[in-house]
Chain A
Amino acid sequence: NSHNSSGGSTLLGYIGIDTIIEQMRKKTMKTGFDFNIMVVGHSGLGKSTLVNTLFKSHVSRKSAGWARDEKIPKTVEIKAVSHVIEEGGVKMKLTVVDTPGFGDQINNDNCWEPISKYINEQYEKFLKEEVNITRKKRIPDTRVHCCIYFISPTGHFLRQLDTEFMKRLSHSVNIIPVIAKADTMTLEERQEFKQRVRKELEVSGIEFYPQKEFDEDMEDKSDNDKIREAMPFAVVGSDKEYQVNGKRVLGRKTAWGIVEVENPNHCEFAQLRDFLIRSHLQDLKEVTHNIHYETYRAKRLNENGGLRDEPALPLTLYRLLF
């Protein structure tokens, strides 16, 4: 009678299996982990400010020494800046990939190509390391785990460039659309805009993160459904602090009031931060590794019978494939 019908055994005493969680936590704290976030949107939408606000430190490209009023580049550039931030004993190597020049030119045809290329290059790097005969103990993970796409708060519709970009990249990276500079719109305007944007995303078949097809169980589905209903989050970013009702808050001071960034009545930044960092950070990495990366890998290994540069695939890989 130590077996129950579902196949699991009831324990007769305390073994200590549940300490594995503690062991994993200790390991993670020692090794730390990587997180790569990419921000895309045309200039002036507050991308760098938002990243600084999210991670409560000056981690964006703009803070790393570039001049504030540099010229808009003629083609889309990819600039990655890495920082190591620590909290509660856990170390995170955060890489912020900025894309200046996106959507800023008069002719923006194919301005998503450098971004697509960069994302695929990171997958390629990882694939090469994985396929090596002698592998590193910990493959450095430069793959983009999350791409935040900034939607301009026009209040009317999504722009053609927005749908084009998201359509093309939603299958190779996790895209999280946000409505930038939400303090431009009143609350009613925001709701209307959100509805319209969500409808357009649905009609165009754009699957943003969290994607419906990757919900693992009912619990996940209900959690994610709630989040999907509220997306795209209308956010405001700021790295300046002001005094409001005796508290120091991050905000923007205008002549008619102070916009509090972390106040859920003012904007949805807190929701975005909780979603991105406090609940779904690990899931973002997993979806990138298990789904987007695997899709890329399968495609690569199927075309032309495998990686050309590698002289001989290791035996295990052969066995895996055939």
Chain B
Amino acid sequence: MYMLYEASINRMRVSVCVSLKQRNLEGYVGFANLPNQVYRKSVKRGFEFTLMVVGESGLGKSTLINSLFLTDLYSKDYPGPSQRIKKTVQVEQSKVLIKEGGVQLTLTIVDTPGFGDAVDNSNCWQPVINYIDSKCEDFLNAESRVNRRSMPDNRVHCCLYFIAPSGHGLKPLDIEFMKRLHDKVNVIPLIAKADTLTPEECQLFKKQIMKEIQEHKIKIYEFPDTEDDDDNKLIRKIKEKMPLAVVGSNVVIEVNGKKVRGRQYPWGVAEVENGEHCDFTVLRNMLIRTHMQDLKDVTNNVHYENYRSKKLAAVTCNGVDTSKTKGQLTKYGTISGKYPLAQMEEERREHVMKMKKMEAEMEQVFEMKVKEKKQKLKDSEAELERRHEQMKRNLEAQYKELEEKRRVFEEEKANWEAQQRILEQQKLDASKTMEKNKKKGKIF
């Protein structure tokens, strides 16, 4: 037997050819105990699982979570996101520690209240995508650190998408959301509140949804084929039932003397755990009892690797984000396929071109500024000329005025002098006559 071992594509290719021949053992060695050791170690460590629920409000997401894990994650004292109206899409996570049979599970439920509830729901998937990416990034950073003692795995392992039971087909929002998330996380579509549909309607609806999913090439989570034939038959049965039509309830009702969980209507009781009524048991078995580990593996091997390779490729091409890659496995250009030297050359050429462009731009700017300044100087010169003219004119006007005044003054002076002379003459005449009169003896 020849086996070729190949690590995932984006890590360094390592091919090891090993020829295996099945040998028979002479005695009991004991490595058959290996699975038990693995089991004991994992049980000690405990398991983690992150489940995300997405759908419009009122589709029974919280109730389903409570039913799946038989806990009241959202109870009357701690009302879940459904009780509060949200104006924008929020992403909220709640952690719960569940213990069963000595096995410990740290369950994280990520809820997305406000999804699809507004009038305008464009980009309501963005907060969800951001959350998933940020968890992958945390893991990437933790993985690349020097000290990797504790690596908590908070990546979203499974996303349950709730489809409203319209009976017709998928809504544009459903298609858009699943298209954007099927590359990032395991998407499992569910038909919510399935007790609205009669069995025929449910069949038609499921067929219609699967048709549309195939049309739009949406990759929902696929159950892996196992080697066991019986298991495969089971898996095929499950595949036919996709998408699973679920009903959730934590209320226990008595039916025919039996206590069942269900919903009480005037016309009957819809039992949650009855396979004829809905696919809840299928979902629970699949999610928890059989495929939980597979969901985690697919998340790790496919979705996370996708994210990682995209992230690291982006880093090498742009040269940005260098601060975040300190201490990481270096980016020897296996990803872009070019030699690092050629890449550096290209970068240098780009850089030089950029510089030239900048230089040309600066020249232009400089020219423009010079022109401006010249224009300004010309303007101020003209302005000064004008003012000079004006002042000259003002001066001339004043001068004329003064001339006028002086002339008037001269005239007055002449008049006054003339008057004075006349007065003098009169005085002289007067004194002369007085003399004459005195002489004549007329004054006593």
Q: Contact at B119–A44, with CB atoms within 8 Å?
A: no
Say whether B328 faces chain A, with CB atoms less than 8 Å apart: no
Residue numbers in B under 8 Å from A255 (CB-CB): 199, 270, 274, 276-277
Q: Contact at A156–B57, with CB atoms within 8 Å?
A: yes
Complex: A259 Cα to B198 Cα, angstroms: 10
Q: Contact at B58–A154, with CB atoms within 8 Å?
A: yes
Complex: A266 Cα to B266 Cα, angstroms: 6
Say whether B167 faces chain A, with CB atoms less than 8 Å apart: yes
Residue numbers in A under 8 Å from B266 (CB-CB): 187, 263, 265-266
Say whether B316 faces chain A, with CB atoms less than 8 Å apart: no
Cβ contact of B121, chosen from A45, A107, A152, A183, cutoff 8 A:
A107
Say whether A243 faces chain B, with CB atoms less than 8 Å apart: no
Say whether A4 faces chain B, with CB atoms less than 8 Å apart: no
Least CB distance from A115 to B in Å reads 15
B58 to A, closest residue via Cβ? A154
Cβ contact of B268, chosen from A45, A154, A160, A257, cutoff 8 A:
A257
Complex: A105 Cα to B315 Cα, angstroms: 37
Q: Which A residues between 24 and 70 are near B, CB-CB below 8 angstroms?
A: 43-45, 69
Q: Contact at A186–B199, with CB atoms within 8 Å?
A: no
How many residues on B have C-beta within 8 angstroms of the other chain's C-beta atoms? 42
Residue numbers in B under 8 Å from A186 (CB-CB): 263-265
Residue numbers in B under 8 Å from A157 (CB-CB): 57-58, 85
A259 to B, closest residue via Cβ? B267
Residue numbers in A under 8 Å from B261 (CB-CB): none
Complex: A254 Cα to B264 Cα, angstroms: 13
Say whether B172 faces chain A, with CB atoms less than 8 Å apart: yes
Say whether B173 faces chain A, with CB atoms less than 8 Å apart: yes
Q: Which A residues between 115 and 162 are near B, CB-CB below 8 angstroms?
A: 152-157, 159-161
- A interface: dominant SS: loop
Q: A183-B196, A256-B268, A256-B271 are in contact. Are A108 and B85 (CB under 8 A)?
A: no
Q: Contact at B166–A44, with CB atoms within 8 Å?
A: yes
Q: Which A residues between 242 and 257 are near B, CB-CB below 8 angstroms?
A: 252-257
Contact with B along A214-248 (1 / 0, CB 8 A): 00000000000000000000000000000000000
Contact with A along B35-77 (1 / 0, CB 8 A): 0000000000000000000001111000000000000000000
Q: Which B residues between 131 and 166 are near A, CB-CB below 8 angstroms?
A: 164-166
Q: Contact at B58–A44, with CB atoms within 8 Å?
A: no
Least CB distance from A312 to B in Å reads 45
Complex: A265 Cα to B164 Cα, angstroms: 26
Say whether B273 faces chain A, with CB atoms less than 8 Å apart: no
Q: Which B residues between 226 and 279 are near A, CB-CB below 8 angstroms?
A: 263-271, 274, 276-277
Cβ contact of A156, chosen from B83, B172, B267, cutoff 8 A:
B83
Q: Contact at B57–A69, with CB atoms within 8 Å?
A: no
Residue numbers in B under 8 Å from A77 (CB-CB): none
Say whether B389 faces chain A, with CB atoms less than 8 Å apart: no
Complex: A256 Cα to B265 Cα, angstroms: 9
Residue numbers in A under 8 Å from B432 (CB-CB): none
Say whether A274 faces chain B, with CB atoms less than 8 Å apart: no
B268 to A, closest residue via Cβ? A257
Residue numbers in A under 8 Å from B85 (CB-CB): 157
Say whether B117 faces chain A, with CB atoms less than 8 Å apart: yes
Least CB distance from A68 to B in Å reads 8
Q: Contact at B57–A154, with CB atoms within 8 Å?
A: yes
Residue numbers in A under 8 Å from B171 (CB-CB): 43, 72, 104
Least CB distance from B352 to A in Å reads 46
Complex: A223 Cα to B155 Cα, angstroms: 59
Least CB distance from B255 to A in Å reads 9
Contact with A along B396-432 (1 / 0, CB 8 A): 0000000000000000000000000000000000000
Q: A44-B166, A155-B58, A266-B267 are in contact. Are A254 and B119 (CB under 8 A)?
A: no
B residues with a Cβ closer than 8 A to A are 56-59, 82-83, 85, 117-122, 124, 164-169, 171-173, 176, 193, 195-196, 198-199, 208, 263-271, 274, 276-277
A residues with a Cβ closer than 8 A to B are 43-45, 69, 72, 104-109, 152-157, 159-161, 164, 181, 183-184, 186-187, 252-260, 263, 265-266
* Extra A-B contacts (15), CB below 8 Å, given A72-B168, A156-B57, A184-B196: A44-B165, A44-B167, A69-B169, A104-B171, A105-B172, A106-B176, A157-B58, A157-B85, A160-B118, A186-B265, A187-B266, A254-B270, A255-B274, A255-B276, A259-B265
| 4 nearest A-B residue pairs (beta carbon) | A44-B166, A154-B58, A257-B268, A257-B267
